[in-house]
Amino acid sequence: MLEKDWWKSATVYQIYPKSFCDSNDDGIGDMKGIINKLDYLKNLGVDVIWTTPMYVSPMMDNGYDIADYYNIDPIFGTMEDFHKLLDEIHKKDMKLIMDMVINHTSTEHFWFKEALKGPENRYHNYYIWKDGTPDQAPNNWASKFGGNAWQYVESLGKYYLHLFDVTQADLNWENSELRNDIYKMINFWLEKGVDGFRLDVINLISKNQNFPNDTYETAISDGRKFYTDGPKVHKFLKELTANTFGKYPGSLTVGEMSSTTIPHCIKYTNPNNKELSMVFNFHHLKVDYPNGEKWALGDMDFKSLKNIFFKWQVEMEIGNGWSAVFWCNHDQPRIVSRFGNEKYLKESGKMLGTAIHFLRGTPYIYQGEEIGMTNPHFETIDEYKDVESLNNYKLLLEKGKSIEEAIAILNQKSRDNSRTPIQWDKNKNAGFTSGTPWINVAKNYSTLNVENSLKDEDSVFYHYKKLIELRKDYKVISHGDFIPMYEENTQVFGYIRKFENEKLLVLNNFYEDEIEIEIPKEFIGKKILIKNYKDTLLESHILKLRAYESLAIYLK
């Protein structure tokens, strides 16, 4: 029998199938490619695999624009391949969670095509429509991918809402027929044996039905407060859970929560509420957005980073909520290039791993993070493929930035930074494909790759493998309380975890400069569970942390 919170000692690995491994040399990763690499993931030691959407899609947003929830897109393989993938994952004693995008569908979806036929059609109300004239949108909400969030349909004299791309129409959760069709579809996948879901932007499903204008006083007063953690979101989630995964004890659900708050995340995940197992939030990944603006160059604000972690860790624990903890995913630049240092790739890659994995929460690893993959440093706009990046590139030029400035911003902020193919070995295209990859491989693949990482005992890979193992062996990591340390320190992110008579002190120097710190005397001479320098000694309560040095000290 599965323990009811088995995921507290588990680690999840995220696969972006398009860029993982290509089995038929069309340049696009696929399910057979994933199957070929399952031994590698088993060796790493992860418990759960999350695959981003593989349903039928025109791929305007790489699958987050679903045209048919019941079928696999041919670029990834067939339904038979899917069954095989699920089976092989289960045989290896791992689990599979699927991505579920139910805030919106592609405008290619049958529902939307029917909806376009007019208000009498059964599916019209599956989407959000407002009357208007071509020159006057219903309100001033912004699309998260740039521009206004409403699109005019001339034949109907109405606008539909799209919080993302114009081809991603928001679903109308107020309509119970839509909700029931969603439940039916989720049950279709549960019946196949999938172990849970990652729910895309799930806290955006309930919109304020007055659709008010926003003020645009700050970078975030763009309408989001009227649909983020909206009026009926908890009601909808409880109903969704009760009708679908709630009937499958032990299934794992993780909600992607855009611009959310701690009180809401407690409600989403406190087991008494029967909503979700855990949630992602992104506040710690906005500490390099100057004044909240993503599309501008910015340095990490370390003080804010620490404050955000401390606040979320402490308050989620008090509310008995549970977080997914992570640095990387398919929407975020590579963490080594971002908050680490490519010159200290191993040291900073390992330090960042330790900093996240010993937090209270379930750690998520994004493909390639476990070998310390970096941003690709693309040189021209043709190398970029992502719809959000291309839209914002245009907007940056319109605002008067030069091409060089705009590329520099994309090099730091674009989602494509994490979408380059996995660097398997030093062969052509990093062993990802013998065809032409859909997006360029980062140039450092001849040295930085999986093959080399597996041969090198000191690689970031083995550090991550160890972090995963330690979580299984030590309750203080999986179940301990969280206590902030060194709150005023401008270089060190440190904390203590505590479980019964066990304690773990975690120390991470986020900078190249050395720094001296004092540790509580009870930790002197105790066991170092993991470190990123071979010769770290614990002989006194004064400790000198070198560039990106990190260690975790255990006592019982």
Which residues bind to ligand GLC, rule: CB under 6 A? Answer: 61, 64, 101, 164, 200-201, 256, 330-331
Task: Output 222 or 315, the one with its CB closest to ligand GLC.
Answer: 222
Can you read off the two tokens belonging to residue 26? Answer: 């069309």
- The residue number whose beta carbon is nearest to ligand GLC equals 64
Task: Output 22 or 256, the one with its CB closest to ligand GLC.
Answer: 256
Answer with the entry of Ca ion, ligand GLC, none that 73 interacts with (C-beta below 5 to 8 A by kind): none
Can you read off the two tokens belonging to residue 4? Answer: 């009811």
Tell the smallest beta-carbon distance from residue 283 to ligand GLC (Å): 15
User: Distance between CA 491 and CA 509 in Å, rounded?
Assistant: 6
Q: Which residues bind Ca ion (CB under 5 A)?
A: 22, 24, 26, 28, 30
Answer with the entry of Ca ion, ligand GLC, none that 30 interacts with (C-beta below 5 to 8 A by kind): Ca ion
Answer with the entry of ligand GLC, Ca ion, none that 304 interacts with (C-beta below 5 to 8 A by kind): none
Tell the smallest beta-carbon distance from residue 128 to Ca ion (Å): 36
Least Cα distance to 133 among 111, 156, 161 occurs for: 156
Helix axes 176-191, 233-243, angle to 10 degrees: 40
Query: What are the residue numbers of the active site?
Result: 200, 256
- Which amino acid is it at 20? F
Strand order through the sheet with 278-280: 278-280, 252-256, 196-199, 95-100, 48-51, 12-15, 362-366, 324-325
User: Distance between CA 413 and CA 288 in Å, rounded?
Assistant: 9
User: Distance between CA 32 and CA 28 in Å, rounded?
Assistant: 11
Alpha helical stretches, state H, 223-373: 233-243, 262-269, 302-318, 335-338, 345-357
Tell the smallest beta-carbon distance from residue 521 to ligand GLC (Å): 45
Task: Output 29 or 363, the one with its CB closest to Ca ion.
Answer: 29
Task: Output 200 or 370, the one with its CB closest to ligand GLC.
Answer: 200
3-state secondary structure of 423: coil
Answer with the entry of Ca ion, ligand GLC, none that 331 interacts with (C-beta below 5 to 8 A by kind): ligand GLC
Least Cα distance to 52 among 64, 39, 36, 41 occurs for: 64
Can you read off the two tokens belonging to residue 147? Answer: 């521009």
User: Distance between CA 393 and CA 374 in Å, rounded?
Assistant: 21
Task: Output 41 or 387, the one with its CB closest to ligand GLC.
Answer: 387
User: Distance between CA 164 and CA 224 in Å, rounded?
Assistant: 12
3-state secondary structure of 71: strand
Answer with the entry of ligand GLC, Ca ion, none that 28 interacts with (C-beta below 5 to 8 A by kind): Ca ion
Answer with the entry of ligand GLC, Ca ion, none that 201 interacts with (C-beta below 5 to 8 A by kind): ligand GLC
Task: Output 370 or 386, the one with its CB closest to ligand GLC.
Answer: 386
Answer with the entry of ligand GLC, Ca ion, none that 61 interacts with (C-beta below 5 to 8 A by kind): ligand GLC
Tell the smallest beta-carbon distance from residue 389 to ligand GLC (Å): 11
Task: Output 64 or 339, the one with its CB closest to ligand GLC.
Answer: 64
Concatenated DSSP letters of 192-241: TT--EEEETTGGGS---TT------SSTT-SSGGGTTT-TTHHHHHHHHH
Tell the smallest beta-carbon distance from residue 427 to Ca ion (Å): 17
Tell the smallest beta-carbon distance from residue 118 to ligand GLC (Å): 27
Tell the smallest beta-carbon distance from residue 281 to ligand GLC (Å): 12
Tell the smallest beta-carbon distance from residue 24 to Ca ion (Å): 5
Helix axes 403-413, 387-398, angle to 10 degrees: 150
Answer with the entry of Ca ion, ligand GLC, none that 22 interacts with (C-beta below 5 to 8 A by kind): Ca ion
Compute the C-alpha angle 247/253/258, nearest 5°.
135
Tell the smallest beta-carbon distance from residue 52 to ligand GLC (Å): 7
| Neighbour-count burial for 204-224, b at 16+ CB within 10 Å, e otherwise | bbbbeeebeebeeeeebebbb
The residues, any chain, with a CB within 8 Å of residue 552's CB and separated by 6 or more, are: 354, 358, 504, 505, 506, 507, 528, 529, 530, 531
Task: Output 387 or 507, the one with its CB closest to ligand GLC.
Answer: 387
Answer with the entry of Ca ion, ligand GLC, none that 396 interacts with (C-beta below 5 to 8 A by kind): none
Task: Output 45 or 58, the one with its CB closest to Ca ion.
Answer: 58
3-state secondary structure of 538: coil
